[in-house]
Amino acid sequence: MNVDAVVFAKLSLQRALLGFVSGKVRAVVFSLEESSLDIRFYVDGDISENDVELSSCVEAEVIADYSPEYEVAAKCLRIDYPALIEDCGVWVFQRQEPPVE
């Protein structure tokens, strides 16, 4: 994976997240391939239309940073606290949560 591409994706996504992270979002993680960026929003509780809309807004902001042939896709996944989020992608957001006893 190209380090510059990861840094660019991370900066793009962190900028796009400003104002679009609800209290239900536990983490935002991405994976980068040659010409695609997969963004995952891990949500605590039922995934609402608002959650999907917010992730879509972030997706649109990130798409604007890339050329048209680059594929950017965001999705919401439900993993309720205290379940661990096991994702080996690049983490750009993680909610503060109490430790699991």
- Give the 3-state secondary structure of residue 47: coil
**Residue 101: inside a domain:** no
- 24-34 pLDDT, tens digit per residue, is 999 999 999 98
Give the total number of structural domains in the chain.
1
CATH number at residue 68: 3.30.70
Residue 90, strand partner residues: 30
Is residue 100 domain-resident?
no
Domain limits at 48?
A: 3-94
In a domain, 40, yes or no: yes
Residue 57 lies in a domain: yes
The order of strands in the sheet holding 36-43 is 71-78, 36-43, 25-32, 90-94
In a domain, 99, yes or no: no
pLDDT tens digit sequence for 46-73: 999 999 999 999 999 999 999 999 999 9
- What's the mean per-residue pLDDT of the chain? 96
CA distance 98 to 76: 22
pTM: 0.95
